[in-house]
């Protein structure tokens, strides 16, 4: 899809029928113990067969470690272990303007989110939603350098407003994606806006601060080290505000990975 970035297509109709945008799967190489645990990957999108029925799932990943390095060597026909769909997913885009903000490989949940918001696809057993017009959906996407921009053709095909940023200025705005978001919100009436965000933690912190200042509801997709993905191991915790005003560690895999920014004790 881009430098060190690949799409993995898994044939799994049952998973494809159930999954919601923003949910994830654990993927594991069968029969090995040198890569013992599964690794979590967000849904990129569902793919359909010739009749239009959900046939499987696409995962987009950046090669960063042992598991993703191994995955890049997989060839069609290989068998993998997958369990899911896991986590809560993004809520339906019940808003007038939807702003999707991605940093790095954090673009992965957004093709499905955008297609659902535009009314181009339905996921799981969710009721059909009010469709947003194309011009009401903006995708702000920042990466280190232009060669890492992945899946641009998928976003372009949706006809939504795509705004790019690169750290080195090789494409789009030179600088952080958060600056794109700040510029976009500058002086606009932000009523009816909603933001969905996925990327490195410092970037999500910055977006959460911005949206608090503009009073825009914001949901973040967290990535925390995870051993099982289904709530048994208590590894993937993050600080979540409690009714008492205190915080407590909560499992990202079952209570997230999507949290309203205000829930988090950042």
Q: Which residues bind another protein (CB under 8 A)?
A: 28, 33-38, 83, 224-228, 230-238, 248-249, 254
Structural element, H or E, at residue 178: helix 177-185
φ/ψ of 243, rounded to 5, equals -55, -30
- Least spacing, CB of residue 43 vs another protein, in Å: 18
Q: Which is nearer to another protein, 85 or 172 (CB)?
A: 85
Q: Which is nearer to another protein, 132 or 228 (CB)?
A: 228
Q: Which is nearer to another protein, 6 or 230 (CB)?
A: 230
Q: State the residue for tokens 């009816």.
A: 192
Strands, DSSP E only, in the chain?
Answer: 5-11, 24-28, 39-42, 45-48, 54-62, 81-86, 97-103, 137-143, 161-166, 173-174, 193-198, 218-221, 237-241, 247-251, 258-260
- Least spacing, CB of residue 29 vs another protein, in Å: 10
CB atoms within 10 A of CB 50: 6
- Least spacing, CB of residue 247 vs another protein, in Å: 9
- Least spacing, CB of residue 84 vs another protein, in Å: 10
The gap from C-alpha 249 to its chain's centroid, in whole angstroms, comes to 22
Q: Which is nearer to another protein, 91 or 231 (CB)?
A: 231
* d(C-alpha 142, C-alpha 180), whole Å: 9
Here the tokens at position 23 are 């949910």
Candidates 65, 66, 45; CA nearest to 56 is 45
Q: Which is nearer to another protein, 189 or 246 (CB)?
A: 246
Q: Which is nearer to another protein, 7 or 28 (CB)?
A: 28
9 to each of 36, 72, 184, how far by Cα in Å? 22, 12, 34
- Least spacing, CB of residue 245 vs another protein, in Å: 15
- Least spacing, CB of residue 28 vs another protein, in Å: 6
């Amino acid at each position: 899809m881009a430098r060190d970035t690949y799409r993995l297509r898994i044939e799994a109709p049952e998973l494809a029928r159930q999954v919601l945008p923003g949910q994830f799967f654990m993927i594991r190489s069968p029969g090995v113990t040198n890569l013992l645990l599964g690794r979590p990957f967000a849904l990129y999108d569902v793919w359909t067969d010739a009749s239009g029925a959900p046939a499987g799932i696409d995962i987009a990943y950046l090669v960063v470690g042992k598991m993703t390095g191994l995955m890049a060597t997989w060839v069609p026909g290989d068998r993998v272990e997958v369990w899911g769909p896991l986590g809560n997913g993004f809520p339906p885009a019940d808003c007038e303007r939807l702003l999707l903000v991605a940093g790095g490989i954090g673009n992965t949940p957004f093709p499905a989110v955008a297609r659902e918001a535009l009314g181009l696809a339905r996921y799981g057993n969710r009721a059909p939603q009010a469709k947003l017009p194309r011009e009401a959906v903006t995708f702000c996407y920042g990466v280190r350098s232009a060669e890492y921009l992945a899946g641009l053709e998928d976003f372009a095909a949706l006809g939504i407003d795509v705004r790019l940023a690169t750290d080195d200025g090789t494409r789009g705005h030179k600088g952080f994606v958060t600056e794109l978001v700040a510029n976009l919100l500058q002086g606009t009436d932000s009523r009816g806006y909603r933001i969905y965000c996925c990327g490195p933690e410092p970037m999500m912190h910055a977006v959460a601060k911005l949206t608090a200042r503009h009073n825009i509801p914001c949901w973040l997709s967290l990535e925390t080290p995870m051993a099982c993905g289904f709530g048994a191991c208590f590894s993937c915790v993050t600080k979540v505000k409690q009714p008492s005003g205190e915080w407590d560690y909560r499992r990202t895999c079952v209570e997230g990975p999507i949290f309203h920014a205000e829930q988090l004790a950042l």
